[in-house]
Chain A
Amino acid sequence: MKSRPSATLAQRINSTASQKNIPLGVLIELTYRCNHRCYYCYQKSFTRSHDLSQRQWSRILAQLAQSGTLYLTISGGEPLLKKDFFGIVEHARGLKFGVSVITNGSLLDARAARRLLALGIMDIGISFHAASAPLHDLLSGVPGSFAKARRALDFCLALGVKTAIKHTVSSLNFGEFALLDKLSRSTGALFECDSFVVPAQADSVSSYALSQRKIREFLRKMRARPFSCSSERDTTARLHCDAGRSLAGIAPDGAVFPCAQLRIPFGNCASSSFKDVWNSPAAQKFRRQETSLSHECRVCSFRRSCSRCHGIALLESGKWRGKSPSLCLHAAVTDEFAPA
């Protein structure tokens, strides 16, 4: 998801965190509510969400700080829809987390951007479906949403906040990545781009997933790996990740997962302490199982090119340790670009 400066130190820290199961990076979803209706969204309801209160989040954040969490990503739904949003960010900064926010930008006006800057947040990611209004608005389902996202980007950059354009490449917006990449370079924003589309329904591939030809074109143009997440990947095998070890995800109701993308419940930290949930039998079982992936992945000839993600495998096939159509397709195409 993001490349951090001083990579070698970050890698060393991450590998220690992974070995010791220290949840160094946690993504919290404050709400599932959203004011956009993005075409690919897997959210079942945009209006109903069982959200924890600010008091409950304050308690959880204190426990995360105690458990060693340094990087805190605040996401949703649309996190700025939560009325306690700024209170929660303020509390998080008081506990000295390095805070990142992911938003659709619709509510990020100049005042909000200045508040976030004053709170010392680390970075903001703003979602863009396209580089111009007609397509972006069509795909977000909200007229005027591009103008607001663009305005939010400008406010943040003008204030000197590190800001990323976040983009998911799909069959509906193919080609926009090149324009958004250009926009990022002309504005000084970072560009974070994924070519995996999370399926909206379990055990299926997203109907907006890229074809083999488009994945090839995307890789050729971007000279990039198709997917990167916040996890520092195991460079020798590339099949494992740090979900559930140095990474965790927490849902709006307090449910804890190994990663926001990987919905295997460890427990709920609204009713138990985070530490108990993090060390629960479910979490321990996950970590034990994570060491042995499916036979097909272990013997796969594309493994060197596979950006394997347990979360995508779970969503597409129901088996998080196994193969999945998108992962295998991306790996096969990526392998064409690998040195002989």
Chain B
Amino acid sequence: MELSVHDRVSKNEHIAQRMFDDQMLVITAKDSMLHKLDDVGTFIWSTIEKSPSIKEICELLQESFEGFDSRKDLSDVCDFVETLEKKKLVVVRHCS
């Protein structure tokens, strides 16, 4: 299902995570797969703490990253969230 800006993202509760050398490491408990997030990924991950909508994530990115454009870069954020979802790091609640 395609993501909409209103969809809410929360962490899979069965992950392990740690800030490591300024970047976020995340493990999915089920398969012990280790993932490393880059700077922007780490930032987005930190925003997911409060189950934000994709729109809210974009707003936070715009506040913190110069040059980030909520409208232009929305699809990149959606792609990233989709990847996180595929890897079972997050759960997306579809809201219209």
Contacts and interface: CB of A to CB of B under 8 A. Distances in A.
B13 to A, nearest CB: 6
A179 to B, nearest CB: 26
A122 B13 CA distance: 12
Nearest to A100: B32
A98 to B, nearest CB: 3
Contact of A122 (B18, B19, B32): B32
B81 to A, nearest CB: 20
A70 B21 contact: no
Given A13-B25, A122-B27, A6 B17 contact: no
Chain B interface size, as a band, is: 10 to 19
Contact of A20 (B16, B18, B21, B33): B21
A70 B20 contact: yes
A65 B21 contact: no
Interface string B1-23: 00000000000011111111100
Contacts of B25: 13, 70
**Residue from B18, B30, B32 with most neighbouring chain A CB atoms (10 Å):** B18
Contact of B29 (A4, A16, A22, A122): A122
A36 interface: no
A10 B34 contact: yes
A9 B36 contact: yes
B34 A68 contact: no
A315 interface: no
Contact of B14 (A5, A6, A120): A120
A263 interface: no
Contacts of A123: 32
Contacts of A255: none
Interface in A57-75: 65, 68-71
A9 B34 contact: yes
Nearest to A96: B17
Contacts of B31: 5, 162
Given A13-B25, A120-B14, A68 B19 contact: yes
B19 A97 contact: no
Contacts of A98: 16, 27, 29, 32
Interface in A161-186: 162
Give the residue among A4, A13, A98, A160 with the most B Cβ atoms within 10 A. Answer: A98
Given A98-B29, A162-B32, A22 B21 contact: yes
Interface in A1-52: 4-6, 9-10, 13, 16-17, 20, 22, 24
A99 interface: yes
Contacts of A9: 34-36
A121 interface: yes
B15 to A, nearest CB: 7
B20 A17 contact: yes
Contacts of B15: 96, 120
Contacts of A6: 33-35
Given A4-B34, A6-B33, A98-B29, A70 B18 contact: yes
A127 to B, nearest CB: 20
Contacts of B17: 70, 96
Interface of A: 4-6, 9-10, 13, 16-17, 20, 22, 24, 65, 68-71, 96-99, 120-123, 160, 162
- The 7 A-B residue pairs with the shortest CB-CB distance, nearest first, are A98-B16, A120-B14, A70-B18, A120-B29, A96-B17, A98-B27, A122-B29
Given A6-B33, A97-B18, 17 more contacts: A5-B31, A5-B32, A9-B34, A9-B35, A9-B36, A68-B19, A70-B17, A70-B20, A70-B25, A98-B27, A98-B29, A99-B16, A120-B15, A122-B32, A162-B30, A162-B31, A162-B32
